Amino acid sequence: MPISNEFFKGFYKENPVFKLALGLCPTLAVSNSLQNAVGMGAAATFVLLCSNVIVSLIRKGVPKKIRIPIYIVIIATFVTIVDLVMAGFAPDLHKSLGIFVPLIVVNCVILGRAEAFAGKNSVAYSFIDGLGMGIGFTFALSAVAVVRELLGSGKLWGFPIMGSGFEPVLLLILPPGAFLTLGLFVGLFNWLDNKRTTA
């Protein structure tokens, strides 16, 4: 498979959130504004890139039986780095993401890629895979966030753009809105798929 496919599969064909149903907790929790979504996406992409590269580098020396604990330690190390850097340079973002920054450790997208891809493929491919999947994850988060922020508060990236006559749908900013929006998005992707295969 050409290396560009590894990059682009994360966007649509194997989108971690809409297609593989991985990493759902952060998708639901931080998609109440576009800023949070992009911040979370960037943090997860960084961790995914680094862990994919390291896992791929050491894949020949890792005993099969204890590979999962080793992967978790690698991931936790990078998550700690992100946590500290974010607390230092973007304290507002760090505060609004809350416990979901340390919880990147248990984001199944990252462990899933380590197990399913980086543990079996070369460093270059794993790097591209991590980048593609990370951007795909960020794209999914942002898509949900745009809908929720735009309709829920009439703003985008914190700027009001819907005009004064717009009555915001408060429900979308609240927790139920996350479930409803993500459900409809997954449904939309299924529908697009069906159309493609039948056409």
Partner 1 sequence: MELSELFIIALSAIFINNFVLMQFLGICPYIGVSKNMDSALGMGMAVIFVMTMASMVTWLINAFLLQPTTSNIFYLIFSPQEPPDLTYLKTIAFILVIASLVQFVEIVVQKVSPALYKSLGIYLPLITTNCAILGVALLNLEKDFSFIESIIHGISAGIGFTLALVLMAGIRERLELAPVPKPLKGIPIAFLMAGLMSIAFLGFSGLKLN
- Rounded to a whole number of angstroms, the minimum distance from the CB of residue 1 to partner 1 is 27
Residue 57 CB, nearest approach to partner 1 (Å): 20
Question: The dihedral of CA 58, 64, 65, 71: what is its sign?
Answer: positive
Contacting residues toward partner 1, per CB under 8 A: 21-22, 24-26, 28-29, 69, 72-73, 76-77, 79-80, 83-84, 98-99, 102-103, 105-108, 111, 171, 174-180, 182-184, 186-188, 190-191, 194
> In the complex, what is the shortest distance from the CB of residue 163 to partner 1, in angstroms, rounded to a whole number?
27
> Based on CB atoms, which residue is closest to partner 1, 20 or 123?
20
Judged by beta carbon, residue 119 or residue 128, the one nearer partner 1 is: 119
Nearer residue to partner 1 within complex by CB, 108 or 123: 108
User: How big is the chain, counted in residues?
Assistant: 199
Minimum distance, C-beta of residue 149 to partner 1, in the bound complex (Å)? 17
d(CA 83, CA 137): 19
Report d(CA 144, CA 130) in Å as an integer.
Answer: 21
List, in sequence order, the alpha helices (H) in 15-107. Answer: 24-29, 34-57, 67-89, 91-97
- What whole-number distance in Å separates Cα of residue 134 and Cα of residue 157? 20
Alpha helix (H) residue ranges in 90-174:
91-97, 108-113, 123-153, 170-173
Q: Which is nearer to partner 1, 76 or 146 (CB)?
A: 76
